[in-house]
Amino acid sequence: MSEFSPKIVAFVCNWCTYAGADLTGTSRMKYSPQVSIIRFPCTGRIDFMLLLKAFANGADGIIVSGCHPNDCHYSSGNFHARRRWIVFRGLLDFLGIDVRRVQFSWVSAAEGAKWAQLVDATAGNIRQLGPFSDYQRLRRGLGVG
């Protein structure tokens, strides 16, 4: 049997992390290919429901990343997002959802190397945790959604 290849969805902001990930590529740095990047205008736009939808649609792990504090293109989107993640993470944990499957990070447009490390480290962690079958099982019997 082949090794488990995790599906990782990365929610990133347009201005910092997306550009950072672009830099990783243009710098020819190699990193785990299991990540699918979704670009958002800002981390402030990343609703917690989008994370739940990613899990429901088969993600084994999630990366959420944006500009460092004080670097937000819209000046405060990432601060609002930080509050949201503090609360959301506590709630997920309380509900018995393994928060190690959601990795939050700040990656700037200059941190191409950090992006590669982040994805590799997250892919490694998720590989150890295995498929998120507890969550994917919730979909059973549901035609659409």
Partner 1 sequence: MDALKNKARELLAAKTVQVVIGYGRGSGGAARAVFVREASKADTLVFDDGCRQNLAVYLMKPEVRKLGKAALVAIPSTLRAVLQLAAENQVGEHDLLALVVTPAGEVVQLATLQAIEAHVASLDPDLSTAEKEELKKYEALSLEQRRQFWQEQFSRCLKCYACRAACPLCYCSRCTVECNQPQWIPVPAHDLGNLEWNVMRAMHLAGRCVNCGDCHRACPVGIPLYLLNQKLISDVFANFNFRSGMAVKTDNAMSTFKPNDSEDFIR
Note the residues at the interface with partner 1 (CB under 8 A).
Answer: 48-49, 52-53, 56, 69-70, 76, 79-80, 82-99, 103-106, 118, 134, 138-142, 144-145
Separation CA 142–CA 124 (nearest Å): 31
Helices (H), 15-64: 17-26, 48-56
> Minimal distance in Å, beta carbon 34 to partner 1?
19
Tell the smallest beta-carbon distance from residue 2 to partner 1 (Å).
27
| Minimum CB distance to partner 1, residue 140 (Å) | 7
Q: How far is CA 98 from the centre of its chain?
A: 14
Shortest Cβ distance from residue 49 to partner 1 (Å)? 6
Q: How far apart are CA 101 and CA 132, in angstroms?
A: 9
In contact, 64 and 43? CB cutoff 8 Å: yes
If one counts every other C-beta atom within 10 angstroms of the C-beta of residue 60, the result is 24
